[in-house]
Chains A and B, each alone.
Chain A
Protein backbone atom coordinates (compact mmCIF):
# COMPACT_ATOMS: atom_id res chain seq x y z
CA UNK A 1 0.00 0.00 0.00
CA UNK A 2 2.90 2.35 0.85
CA UNK A 3 4.44 1.75 -2.57
CA UNK A 4 1.17 2.74 -4.24
CA UNK A 5 1.02 5.93 -2.17
CA UNK A 6 4.63 6.72 -3.12
CA UNK A 7 3.99 6.10 -6.78
CA UNK A 8 0.88 8.24 -6.62
CA UNK A 9 2.74 11.15 -5.00
CA UNK A 10 5.63 10.86 -7.47
CA UNK A 11 3.25 11.10 -10.40
CA UNK A 12 1.52 14.11 -8.91
CA UNK A 13 4.85 15.85 -8.30
CA UNK A 14 6.16 15.12 -11.78
CA UNK A 15 3.06 16.75 -13.21
CA UNK A 16 3.93 20.01 -11.52
CA UNK A 17 7.51 20.24 -12.80
CA UNK A 18 8.01 22.74 -15.63
CA UNK A 19 10.82 22.45 -18.15
CA UNK A 20 12.18 24.32 -21.14
CA UNK A 21 10.06 25.41 -24.10
CA UNK A 22 9.65 22.79 -26.82
CA UNK A 23 9.47 24.38 -30.26
CA UNK A 24 6.71 23.54 -32.74
CA UNK A 25 9.09 21.72 -35.08
CA UNK A 26 10.15 19.54 -32.16
CA UNK A 27 6.67 18.38 -31.17
CA UNK A 28 6.43 15.27 -33.35
CA UNK A 29 6.27 12.96 -30.35
CA UNK A 30 4.07 15.31 -28.34
CA UNK A 31 1.57 15.41 -31.21
CA UNK A 32 1.18 11.63 -31.27
CA UNK A 33 -2.47 10.70 -30.64
CA UNK A 34 -1.49 8.54 -27.66
CA UNK A 35 0.13 11.56 -25.98
CA UNK A 36 -3.23 13.33 -25.63
CA UNK A 37 -3.86 14.40 -22.06
CA UNK A 38 -7.40 13.09 -22.03
CA UNK A 39 -9.26 9.82 -21.99
CA UNK A 40 -9.78 8.00 -25.30
CA UNK A 41 -13.27 7.97 -26.84
CA UNK A 42 -14.17 4.43 -25.76
CA UNK A 43 -13.17 5.15 -22.17
CA UNK A 44 -16.31 7.22 -21.60
CA UNK A 45 -18.30 4.04 -20.96
CA UNK A 46 -15.80 2.81 -18.36
CA UNK A 47 -15.83 6.21 -16.69
CA UNK A 48 -19.61 6.03 -16.66
CA UNK A 49 -19.80 2.70 -14.81
CA UNK A 50 -17.00 3.78 -12.46
CA UNK A 51 -19.05 6.86 -11.51
CA UNK A 52 -21.89 4.52 -10.52
CA UNK A 53 -19.83 1.85 -8.79
CA UNK A 54 -17.32 4.10 -7.02
CA UNK A 55 -17.74 7.15 -4.85
CA UNK A 56 -15.01 9.21 -6.49
CA UNK A 57 -15.37 11.01 -9.81
CA UNK A 58 -13.93 13.98 -11.67
CA UNK A 59 -10.50 15.53 -12.19
CA UNK A 60 -10.23 13.64 -15.43
CA UNK A 61 -10.33 16.53 -17.86
CA UNK A 62 -8.84 16.65 -21.27
CA UNK A 63 -6.76 19.12 -23.12
CA UNK A 64 -8.86 21.62 -25.09
CA UNK A 65 -6.34 22.24 -27.80
CA UNK A 66 -2.78 23.21 -28.50
CA UNK A 67 0.41 21.25 -28.36
CA UNK A 68 -0.31 20.18 -31.90
CA UNK A 69 1.54 22.94 -33.68
CA UNK A 70 -1.16 22.74 -36.34
CA UNK A 71 -1.54 26.41 -37.17
Chain B
Protein backbone atom coordinates (compact mmCIF):
# COMPACT_ATOMS: atom_id res chain seq x y z
CA UNK B 1 0.00 0.00 0.00
CA UNK B 2 2.87 2.28 0.78
CA UNK B 3 4.16 1.63 -2.71
CA UNK B 4 0.83 2.52 -4.35
CA UNK B 5 0.26 5.67 -2.27
CA UNK B 6 2.69 7.94 -4.13
CA UNK B 7 1.02 6.95 -7.46
CA UNK B 8 -2.41 7.89 -6.03
CA UNK B 9 -1.02 11.20 -4.92
CA UNK B 10 0.51 11.79 -8.34
CA UNK B 11 -2.75 10.79 -10.08
CA UNK B 12 -4.84 13.19 -7.99
CA UNK B 13 -2.22 15.90 -8.47
CA UNK B 14 -2.44 15.52 -12.26
CA UNK B 15 -6.24 15.28 -12.17
CA UNK B 16 -6.30 18.42 -10.10
CA UNK B 17 -4.10 20.09 -12.65
CA UNK B 18 -6.41 19.10 -15.52
CA UNK B 19 -9.53 20.29 -13.67
CA UNK B 20 -7.74 23.50 -12.79
CA UNK B 21 -6.65 24.03 -16.39
CA UNK B 22 -10.19 23.42 -17.68
CA UNK B 23 -11.54 25.92 -15.18
CA UNK B 24 -9.04 28.51 -16.28
CA UNK B 25 -9.80 27.67 -19.94
CA UNK B 26 -13.51 28.21 -19.39
CA UNK B 27 -12.72 31.55 -17.85
CA UNK B 28 -10.49 32.60 -20.74
CA UNK B 29 -11.87 35.62 -22.49
CA UNK B 30 -13.86 35.17 -25.69
CA UNK B 31 -11.52 34.25 -28.51
CA UNK B 32 -12.39 35.75 -31.85
CA UNK B 33 -11.85 33.62 -34.95
CA UNK B 34 -8.90 34.67 -37.06
CA UNK B 35 -11.26 34.35 -40.03
CA UNK B 36 -14.99 34.71 -39.44
CA UNK B 37 -16.32 33.10 -42.58
CA UNK B 38 -15.34 31.55 -45.91
CA UNK B 39 -13.92 34.19 -48.25
CA UNK B 40 -13.63 33.84 -52.00
CA UNK B 41 -11.46 36.21 -54.05
CA UNK B 42 -11.96 36.26 -57.79
CA UNK B 43 -9.03 38.00 -59.45
CA UNK B 44 -8.35 38.74 -63.09
CA UNK B 45 -5.70 40.61 -65.01
CA UNK B 46 -4.87 41.54 -68.57
CA UNK B 47 -1.29 42.52 -69.45
CA UNK B 48 0.07 43.79 -72.76
CA UNK B 49 3.59 44.91 -73.66
CA UNK B 50 5.56 46.25 -76.61
CA UNK B 51 9.30 46.38 -77.05
CA UNK B 52 12.20 46.17 -79.48
CA UNK B 53 14.68 43.89 -77.71
CA UNK B 54 13.28 40.37 -77.96
CA UNK B 55 15.52 37.97 -76.06
CA UNK B 56 14.60 34.95 -78.22
CA UNK B 57 16.09 36.69 -81.28
CA UNK B 58 19.25 37.78 -79.47
CA UNK B 59 18.28 41.19 -78.10
CA UNK B 60 16.62 42.59 -81.21
CA UNK B 61 13.03 42.18 -82.38
CA UNK B 62 9.38 42.34 -81.52
CA UNK B 63 8.52 41.91 -77.82
CA UNK B 64 4.74 42.16 -78.20
CA UNK B 65 3.11 40.02 -75.53
CA UNK B 66 -0.34 39.59 -74.05
CA UNK B 67 -1.27 37.75 -70.89
CA UNK B 68 -4.65 36.96 -69.38
CA UNK B 69 -4.68 35.57 -65.84
CA UNK B 70 -7.88 34.60 -63.99
CA UNK B 71 -7.33 33.39 -60.43
CA UNK B 72 -9.50 32.23 -57.56
CA UNK B 73 -8.47 32.24 -53.91
CA UNK B 74 -10.58 30.54 -51.23
CA UNK B 75 -9.91 31.09 -47.51
CA UNK B 76 -11.69 28.76 -45.17
CA UNK B 77 -11.75 28.87 -41.34
CA UNK B 78 -11.09 25.34 -40.02
CA UNK B 79 -11.73 26.41 -36.45
CA UNK B 80 -11.19 29.52 -34.32
CA UNK B 81 -7.44 29.35 -34.81
CA UNK B 82 -6.75 27.87 -38.23
CA UNK B 83 -7.27 28.80 -41.87
CA UNK B 84 -6.91 26.75 -45.02
CA UNK B 85 -6.19 28.68 -48.24
CA UNK B 86 -6.47 27.36 -51.79
CA UNK B 87 -5.12 29.49 -54.63
CA UNK B 88 -5.74 28.32 -58.19
CA UNK B 89 -5.01 30.24 -61.34
CA UNK B 90 -4.08 30.11 -64.98
CA UNK B 91 -1.97 32.50 -66.98
CA UNK B 92 -2.46 32.35 -70.73
CA UNK B 93 0.00 34.26 -72.89
CA UNK B 94 0.85 34.98 -76.50
CA UNK B 95 4.38 36.18 -77.24
CA UNK B 96 5.93 37.42 -80.48
CA UNK B 97 9.39 36.89 -79.03
CA UNK B 98 8.79 33.29 -77.93
CA UNK B 99 7.04 32.54 -81.21
CA UNK B 100 10.36 33.02 -82.99
CA UNK B 101 11.84 29.89 -81.49
CA UNK B 102 11.05 28.81 -85.02
CA UNK B 103 10.81 32.12 -86.92
CA UNK B 104 10.17 30.46 -90.27
CA UNK B 105 6.58 29.47 -89.59
CA UNK B 106 5.28 32.90 -90.56
CA UNK B 107 5.97 32.04 -94.21
CA UNK B 108 4.51 28.60 -93.89
CA UNK B 109 7.88 27.28 -94.96
CA UNK B 110 8.71 25.33 -91.88
CA UNK B 111 7.58 21.75 -91.96
CA UNK B 112 7.56 21.27 -88.23
CA UNK B 113 7.54 23.06 -84.99
CA UNK B 114 10.68 23.44 -82.97
CA UNK B 115 9.37 21.07 -80.36
CA UNK B 116 8.51 18.17 -82.63
CA UNK B 117 10.71 15.16 -82.21
CA UNK B 118 10.65 13.76 -85.71
CA UNK B 119 11.69 15.80 -88.77
CA UNK B 120 9.53 15.67 -91.84
CA UNK B 121 11.96 16.91 -94.45
CA UNK B 122 13.29 20.28 -95.43
CA UNK B 123 11.52 23.56 -95.70
CA UNK B 124 12.12 24.14 -99.36
CA UNK B 125 9.15 22.10 -100.51
CA UNK B 126 6.69 24.87 -99.74
CA UNK B 127 8.77 27.79 -100.98
CA UNK B 128 11.82 29.63 -99.76
CA UNK B 129 11.57 30.03 -96.00
CA UNK B 130 11.86 33.43 -94.46
CA UNK B 131 11.47 34.89 -91.03
CA UNK B 132 12.10 38.08 -89.11
CA UNK B 133 12.68 38.98 -85.48
CA UNK B 134 10.09 41.71 -86.02
CA UNK B 135 7.28 39.43 -87.17
CA UNK B 136 5.52 36.94 -84.91
CA UNK B 137 5.69 33.36 -86.07
CA UNK B 138 2.92 30.81 -85.74
CA UNK B 139 5.18 28.29 -84.01
CA UNK B 140 4.10 26.23 -81.02
CA UNK B 141 5.94 28.52 -78.63
CA UNK B 142 3.80 31.51 -79.71
CA UNK B 143 1.43 30.82 -76.84
CA UNK B 144 1.20 28.79 -73.68
CA UNK B 145 -0.83 28.40 -70.52
CA UNK B 146 0.67 28.34 -67.05
CA UNK B 147 -1.49 26.59 -64.46
CA UNK B 148 -0.80 27.22 -60.78
CA UNK B 149 -2.16 25.57 -57.61
CA UNK B 150 -1.12 26.48 -54.07
CA UNK B 151 -2.50 25.25 -50.75
CA UNK B 152 -1.68 26.89 -47.42
CA UNK B 153 -2.49 26.21 -43.78
CA UNK B 154 -2.09 28.79 -41.04
CA UNK B 155 -2.62 28.42 -37.31
CA UNK B 156 -2.59 31.03 -34.58
CA UNK B 157 -1.93 30.66 -30.86
CA UNK B 158 -4.73 31.38 -28.38
CA UNK B 159 -3.30 34.77 -27.51
CA UNK B 160 -2.72 35.52 -31.22
CA UNK B 161 0.93 36.20 -30.56
CA UNK B 162 2.24 33.31 -32.64
CA UNK B 163 1.37 32.22 -36.15
CA UNK B 164 2.58 29.08 -37.88
CA UNK B 165 2.02 28.18 -41.48
CA UNK B 166 2.87 25.58 -44.06
CA UNK B 167 2.22 25.67 -47.77
CA UNK B 168 2.76 23.58 -50.88
CA UNK B 169 2.00 24.03 -54.53
CA UNK B 170 3.05 23.67 -58.07
CA UNK B 171 2.81 25.12 -61.53
CA UNK B 172 3.16 23.74 -65.00
CA UNK B 173 3.50 25.06 -68.53
CA UNK B 174 4.78 23.41 -71.70
CA UNK B 175 8.50 23.87 -71.15
CA UNK B 176 8.64 24.36 -67.38
CA UNK B 177 7.25 22.76 -64.25
CA UNK B 178 7.69 23.75 -60.64
CA UNK B 179 6.91 22.33 -57.21
CA UNK B 180 7.20 24.42 -54.08
CA UNK B 181 6.76 23.97 -50.37
CA UNK B 182 7.48 26.13 -47.39
CA UNK B 183 6.88 26.98 -43.76
CA UNK B 184 6.50 30.21 -41.85
CA UNK B 185 6.48 31.44 -38.28
CA UNK B 186 5.63 34.82 -36.79
CA UNK B 187 5.99 36.07 -33.23
CA UNK B 188 4.28 39.20 -31.94
CA UNK B 189 5.09 40.96 -28.69
CA UNK B 190 5.16 44.39 -27.10
CA UNK B 191 1.32 44.42 -27.02
CA UNK B 192 1.33 43.41 -30.68
CA UNK B 193 3.33 46.47 -31.59
CA UNK B 194 6.24 44.40 -32.84
CA UNK B 195 6.29 41.34 -35.09
CA UNK B 196 9.12 39.14 -36.23
CA UNK B 197 8.49 36.71 -39.07
CA UNK B 198 10.53 33.96 -40.61
CA UNK B 199 9.70 32.07 -43.78
CA UNK B 200 11.45 29.36 -45.74
CA UNK B 201 10.47 28.31 -49.23
CA UNK B 202 11.90 25.70 -51.58
CA UNK B 203 11.20 25.50 -55.32
CA UNK B 204 12.03 22.36 -57.24
CA UNK B 205 11.78 23.23 -60.93
CA UNK B 206 12.43 21.40 -64.16
CA UNK B 207 12.89 22.64 -67.72
CA UNK B 208 11.67 20.82 -70.77
CA UNK B 209 14.14 22.78 -72.92
CA UNK B 210 12.83 24.18 -76.19
CA UNK B 211 15.73 25.48 -78.27
CA UNK B 212 15.80 27.59 -81.47
CA UNK B 213 15.10 25.61 -84.66
CA UNK B 214 18.57 25.97 -86.20
CA UNK B 215 20.25 24.75 -83.00
CA UNK B 216 17.72 21.96 -82.65
CA UNK B 217 18.65 20.67 -86.12
CA UNK B 218 22.34 20.99 -85.33
CA UNK B 219 21.78 19.02 -82.11
CA UNK B 220 20.00 16.27 -84.08
CA UNK B 221 22.26 15.95 -87.14
CA UNK B 222 25.52 17.57 -85.98
CA UNK B 223 27.85 18.49 -88.89
CA UNK B 224 25.50 16.95 -91.48
CA UNK B 225 22.57 19.15 -90.55
CA UNK B 226 22.86 21.33 -93.65
CA UNK B 227 22.51 18.50 -96.15
CA UNK B 228 20.95 15.55 -94.29
CA UNK B 229 17.66 14.92 -96.15
CA UNK B 230 15.79 14.68 -92.85
CA UNK B 231 17.09 18.04 -91.65
CA UNK B 232 14.96 21.14 -91.98
CA UNK B 233 17.90 22.93 -93.57
CA UNK B 234 18.37 20.41 -96.36
CA UNK B 235 17.88 22.37 -99.58
CA UNK B 236 17.35 25.69 -97.80
CA UNK B 237 19.51 28.57 -99.01
CA UNK B 238 21.67 30.10 -96.30
CA UNK B 239 23.38 33.38 -97.14
CA UNK B 240 26.19 35.50 -95.74
CA UNK B 241 26.12 39.27 -95.21
CA UNK B 242 26.56 39.85 -98.96
CA UNK B 243 23.77 37.52 -100.01
CA UNK B 244 26.09 34.77 -101.21
CA UNK B 245 24.72 31.28 -100.73
CA UNK B 246 27.12 29.53 -98.34
CA UNK B 247 27.41 26.25 -96.48
CA UNK B 248 29.68 27.39 -93.65
CA UNK B 249 27.06 27.85 -90.93
CA UNK B 250 28.08 25.73 -87.94
CA UNK B 251 26.98 26.80 -84.42
CA UNK B 252 29.93 25.05 -82.82
CA UNK B 253 29.50 26.71 -79.42
CA UNK B 254 26.17 25.02 -78.90
CA UNK B 255 26.14 21.94 -76.68
CA UNK B 256 23.15 20.00 -75.43
CA UNK B 257 21.92 20.61 -71.92
CA UNK B 258 23.35 18.33 -69.25
CA UNK B 259 21.01 19.50 -66.51
CA UNK B 260 17.43 20.64 -66.81
CA UNK B 261 16.81 21.20 -63.11
CA UNK B 262 16.53 24.51 -61.33
CA UNK B 263 16.21 24.61 -57.55
CA UNK B 264 15.64 27.72 -55.47
CA UNK B 265 15.91 28.15 -51.72
CA UNK B 266 14.51 31.30 -50.14
CA UNK B 267 14.75 32.47 -46.55
CA UNK B 268 12.73 35.57 -45.65
CA UNK B 269 12.97 37.62 -42.48
CA UNK B 270 10.56 40.37 -41.51
CA UNK B 271 10.36 42.83 -38.64
CA UNK B 272 7.41 45.19 -38.32
CA UNK B 273 6.85 47.89 -35.76
CA UNK B 274 4.03 50.25 -34.85
CA UNK B 275 5.83 53.57 -34.53
CA UNK B 276 2.93 55.75 -33.42
CA UNK B 277 -0.89 55.55 -33.46
CA UNK B 278 -0.72 56.67 -37.11
CA UNK B 279 2.56 55.28 -38.34
CA UNK B 280 3.85 51.77 -38.82
CA UNK B 281 6.67 50.26 -40.80
CA UNK B 282 8.43 47.02 -41.58
CA UNK B 283 11.73 45.83 -42.95
CA UNK B 284 12.18 42.64 -44.92
CA UNK B 285 15.30 40.77 -45.95
CA UNK B 286 15.48 37.73 -48.20
CA UNK B 287 18.29 35.37 -48.97
CA UNK B 288 17.70 33.43 -52.18
CA UNK B 289 20.00 30.79 -53.63
CA UNK B 290 19.29 29.36 -57.07
CA UNK B 291 21.05 26.37 -58.59
CA UNK B 292 20.80 24.53 -61.89
CA UNK B 293 19.81 25.68 -65.36
CA UNK B 294 19.33 29.42 -64.78
CA UNK B 295 19.45 30.45 -68.44
CA UNK B 296 16.56 30.28 -70.89
CA UNK B 297 17.27 27.66 -73.61
CA UNK B 298 15.15 29.50 -76.19
CA UNK B 299 17.12 32.78 -76.10
CA UNK B 300 19.63 33.23 -78.94
CA UNK B 301 23.05 34.83 -78.78
CA UNK B 302 25.15 36.15 -81.67
CA UNK B 303 28.95 36.50 -81.63
CA UNK B 304 30.66 39.47 -83.21
CA UNK B 305 33.75 37.35 -83.95
CA UNK B 306 31.79 34.82 -86.01
CA UNK B 307 30.56 35.17 -89.58
CA UNK B 308 26.85 35.97 -89.90
CA UNK B 309 24.43 33.62 -91.66
CA UNK B 310 20.84 34.33 -92.69
CA UNK B 311 17.76 32.71 -94.11
CA UNK B 312 15.40 34.83 -96.19
CA UNK B 313 15.69 37.94 -98.31
CA UNK B 314 19.35 39.06 -98.13
CA UNK B 315 18.36 42.54 -99.39
CA UNK B 316 16.78 43.16 -95.97
CA UNK B 317 20.03 42.46 -94.10
CA UNK B 318 21.14 46.16 -93.99
CA UNK B 319 17.92 46.97 -92.09
CA UNK B 320 18.02 43.84 -89.95
CA UNK B 321 17.76 45.74 -86.67
CA UNK B 322 14.87 47.85 -87.95
CA UNK B 323 11.21 46.84 -87.86
CA UNK B 324 11.24 47.37 -91.64
CA UNK B 325 12.89 43.97 -91.90
CA UNK B 326 10.10 41.49 -92.40
CA UNK B 327 11.75 38.71 -94.33
CA UNK B 328 15.26 37.79 -93.20
CA UNK B 329 16.45 36.04 -90.06
CA UNK B 330 19.92 35.80 -88.54
CA UNK B 331 20.83 32.21 -87.56
CA UNK B 332 21.99 31.81 -83.96
CA UNK B 333 25.55 31.18 -82.84
CA UNK B 334 24.37 29.81 -79.50
CA UNK B 335 21.75 30.21 -76.80
CA UNK B 336 22.42 32.27 -73.70
CA UNK B 337 24.78 30.74 -71.15
CA UNK B 338 24.63 31.81 -67.51
CA UNK B 339 26.26 30.51 -64.31
CA UNK B 340 24.60 27.56 -62.61
CA UNK B 341 24.30 29.40 -59.29
CA UNK B 342 22.94 32.75 -58.24
CA UNK B 343 22.72 34.42 -54.84
CA UNK B 344 20.12 37.17 -54.47
CA UNK B 345 19.82 39.49 -51.48
CA UNK B 346 16.89 41.93 -51.51
CA UNK B 347 16.26 44.18 -48.49
CA UNK B 348 13.04 46.18 -48.42
CA UNK B 349 10.90 48.29 -46.19
CA UNK B 350 7.36 49.55 -45.95
CA UNK B 351 6.24 52.68 -44.17
CA UNK B 352 2.57 53.61 -43.95
CA UNK B 353 1.22 56.85 -42.50
CA UNK B 354 -2.41 57.52 -41.66
CA UNK B 355 -2.76 61.18 -42.56
CA UNK B 356 -6.49 61.40 -41.89
CA UNK B 357 -9.61 59.30 -42.22
CA UNK B 358 -9.65 60.38 -45.87
CA UNK B 359 -5.99 59.91 -46.71
CA UNK B 360 -3.23 57.34 -46.13
CA UNK B 361 0.32 57.34 -47.49
CA UNK B 362 1.73 53.92 -48.33
CA UNK B 363 5.38 53.66 -49.28
CA UNK B 364 7.76 50.87 -50.19
CA UNK B 365 11.51 50.87 -50.82
CA UNK B 366 13.89 48.05 -51.73
CA UNK B 367 17.56 47.60 -52.41
CA UNK B 368 18.63 44.47 -54.28
CA UNK B 369 22.00 42.93 -55.00
CA UNK B 370 23.08 39.61 -56.53
CA UNK B 371 26.34 37.90 -57.45
CA UNK B 372 25.72 38.34 -61.18
CA UNK B 373 26.58 42.01 -60.77
CA UNK B 374 23.06 43.41 -60.63
CA UNK B 375 22.11 46.07 -58.12
CA UNK B 376 18.74 47.73 -58.10
CA UNK B 377 16.53 50.18 -56.23
CA UNK B 378 12.76 50.29 -56.03
CA UNK B 379 10.51 53.02 -54.66
CA UNK B 380 6.73 52.93 -54.62
CA UNK B 381 4.10 55.30 -53.30
CA UNK B 382 0.37 54.86 -53.01
CA UNK B 383 -2.04 57.51 -51.76
CA UNK B 384 -5.47 56.02 -50.97
CA UNK B 385 -8.06 58.82 -50.96
CA UNK B 386 -11.33 57.83 -49.34
CA UNK B 387 -14.48 59.60 -50.55
CA UNK B 388 -16.88 57.87 -48.18
CA UNK B 389 -17.33 54.51 -46.44
CA UNK B 390 -17.59 52.69 -49.74
CA UNK B 391 -15.47 54.38 -52.39
CA UNK B 392 -11.75 55.00 -52.56
CA UNK B 393 -9.38 56.23 -55.28
CA UNK B 394 -5.64 55.51 -55.10
CA UNK B 395 -2.96 57.10 -57.30
CA UNK B 396 0.15 54.90 -57.54
CA UNK B 397 3.72 55.57 -58.67
CA UNK B 398 6.71 53.20 -58.76
CA UNK B 399 10.32 53.87 -59.73
CA UNK B 400 12.83 51.11 -60.43
CA UNK B 401 16.40 50.97 -61.70
CA UNK B 402 19.03 48.29 -62.08
CA UNK B 403 22.58 47.84 -63.29
CA UNK B 404 23.36 45.25 -65.95
CA UNK B 405 24.39 41.67 -65.25
CA UNK B 406 28.09 40.97 -65.85
CA UNK B 407 27.14 38.66 -68.69
CA UNK B 408 24.84 41.00 -70.63
CA UNK B 409 25.69 42.33 -74.07
CA UNK B 410 23.44 43.77 -76.82
CA UNK B 411 22.74 42.04 -80.14
CA UNK B 412 25.83 40.65 -81.91
CA UNK B 413 28.38 42.00 -79.40
CA UNK B 414 29.44 38.90 -77.46
CA UNK B 415 32.67 37.00 -78.13
CA UNK B 416 32.67 33.27 -78.72
CA UNK B 417 35.50 32.92 -76.20
CA UNK B 418 33.30 34.12 -73.32
CA UNK B 419 32.12 31.54 -70.81
CA UNK B 420 28.79 33.25 -70.08
CA UNK B 421 26.68 35.52 -72.26
CA UNK B 422 23.12 36.77 -72.65
CA UNK B 423 21.34 39.41 -74.71
CA UNK B 424 18.23 39.39 -72.54
CA UNK B 425 17.41 43.05 -71.88
CA UNK B 426 15.67 42.07 -68.62
CA UNK B 427 19.27 41.70 -67.37
CA UNK B 428 20.46 44.99 -68.90
CA UNK B 429 21.03 48.42 -67.35
CA UNK B 430 17.75 50.38 -67.25
CA UNK B 431 15.32 52.40 -65.19
CA UNK B 432 11.54 52.22 -65.27
CA UNK B 433 8.54 54.26 -64.23
CA UNK B 434 5.18 52.76 -63.41
CA UNK B 435 2.17 54.88 -62.70
CA UNK B 436 -1.53 54.31 -62.44
CA UNK B 437 -4.46 54.22 -60.09
CA UNK B 438 -7.01 51.99 -58.48
CA UNK B 439 -10.67 52.42 -57.72
CA UNK B 440 -11.97 50.43 -54.76
CA UNK B 441 -15.45 49.73 -53.51
CA UNK B 442 -16.28 48.27 -50.13
CA UNK B 443 -19.75 47.00 -49.37
CA UNK B 444 -20.47 47.61 -45.71
CA UNK B 445 -23.48 45.28 -45.57
CA UNK B 446 -22.50 42.88 -48.40
CA UNK B 447 -25.94 43.42 -49.97
CA UNK B 448 -25.03 42.21 -53.45
CA UNK B 449 -25.26 38.41 -53.28
CA UNK B 450 -24.39 35.46 -55.49
CA UNK B 451 -25.92 32.35 -53.96
CA UNK B 452 -24.91 32.54 -50.28
CA UNK B 453 -21.93 34.79 -50.90
CA UNK B 454 -22.14 38.53 -50.38
CA UNK B 455 -19.83 40.98 -52.13
CA UNK B 456 -17.48 42.45 -49.54
CA UNK B 457 -15.18 44.50 -51.76
CA UNK B 458 -14.14 45.12 -55.35
CA UNK B 459 -11.14 46.77 -56.93
CA UNK B 460 -10.14 47.91 -60.40
CA UNK B 461 -6.46 48.72 -60.84
CA UNK B 462 -4.66 49.99 -63.96
CA UNK B 463 -0.95 50.65 -64.42
CA UNK B 464 1.26 51.92 -67.23
CA UNK B 465 4.93 50.91 -67.28
CA UNK B 466 7.77 52.39 -69.32
CA UNK B 467 11.36 51.18 -69.38
CA UNK B 468 14.30 53.31 -70.51
CA UNK B 469 15.33 50.73 -73.13
CA UNK B 470 12.15 50.84 -75.16
CA UNK B 471 9.77 48.46 -73.44
CA UNK B 472 6.35 49.69 -72.41
CA UNK B 473 3.33 47.88 -71.03
CA UNK B 474 0.03 48.28 -69.30
CA UNK B 475 -1.85 46.04 -66.93
CA UNK B 476 -5.46 46.08 -65.80
CA UNK B 477 -6.51 43.93 -62.89
CA UNK B 478 -9.68 43.41 -60.92
CA UNK B 479 -10.57 41.69 -57.69
CA UNK B 480 -13.91 40.75 -56.18
CA UNK B 481 -14.05 39.50 -52.62
CA UNK B 482 -17.12 37.51 -51.54
CA UNK B 483 -17.95 36.35 -48.03
CA UNK B 484 -20.17 33.42 -47.13
CA UNK B 485 -23.23 34.47 -45.15
CA UNK B 486 -23.18 33.05 -41.64
Which residues of chain A have a CB within 8 Å of any CB of chain B?
Answer: 4-5, 7-8, 11-12, 14-24, 26-30, 32, 34-38, 40-46, 48-50, 52-61, 63-71
Closest 8 CB pairs of A and B: A59-B348, A56-B368, A59-B346, A45-B45, A15-B349, A29-B354, A64-B186, A58-B286
CB pair B277 A30 closer than 8 Å: yes
CB pair B282 A15 closer than 8 Å: yes
Residues 314-338 of B, flagged 1 when their CB comes within 8 A of A and 0 if not, give 0000000000000000000000000
- Taking CB atoms, residues of chain B closer than 8 Å to A36 are 352
- Taking CB atoms, residues of chain B closer than 8 Å to A14 are 275, 281, 349, 351
Q: How large is the interface on B (under 10, 10 to 19, 20 to 34, 35 or more residues)?
A: 35 or more
Q: Report whether over half of chain B's contact residues are helix, strand or loop; otherwise say mixed.
A: strand
Q: A49 and B348 in contact (CB under 8 A), knowing A4-B399, A42-B43, A60-B366? A: no
Q: A61 and B197 in contact (CB under 8 A), knowing A22-B276, A32-B354, A69-B192? A: yes
CB pair B284 A17 closer than 8 Å: no
CB pair B160 A71 closer than 8 Å: yes
Chain B residues 152-203 with CB under 8 Å of chain A are: 154, 156, 159-161, 163, 165, 184, 186, 188, 190-195, 197, 199
CB pair B347 A45 closer than 8 Å: no
Chain A: CB-nearest residue to B350: A37
Contact of A15 among B156, B163, B281, B360 (CB under 8 A): B281
Q: A63 and B272 in contact (CB under 8 A), knowing A16-B283, A55-B402, A70-B32? A: yes
Whole-angstrom CA separation of A12 from B283 in the bound complex: 8
CB pair A67 B192 closer than 8 Å: yes
CB pair A55 B426 closer than 8 Å: yes
The CB with the most chain B CB atoms within 10 A, among A16, A42, A46, is that of A42
Q: How many inter-chain residue pairs (CB < 8 Å) link A and B?
A: 230
- Taking CB atoms, residues of chain A closer than 8 Å to B478 are 42
- Taking CB atoms, residues of chain B closer than 8 Å to A57 are 344, 346, 368
Q: Does B467 contact A (CB under 8 A)?
A: yes
CB pair B463 A56 closer than 8 Å: no
Q: Does B479 contact A (CB under 8 A)?
A: yes
CB pair A4 B379 closer than 8 Å: yes
- Taking CB atoms, residues of chain A closer than 8 Å to B360 are 32, 34-35
Q: A11 and B365 in contact (CB under 8 A), knowing A42-B43, A61-B270, A65-B163? A: yes
Chain A: CB-nearest residue to B361: A34
- Taking CB atoms, residues of chain B closer than 8 Å to A38 are 350
The CB with the most chain B CB atoms within 10 A, among A22, A34, A38, is that of A34
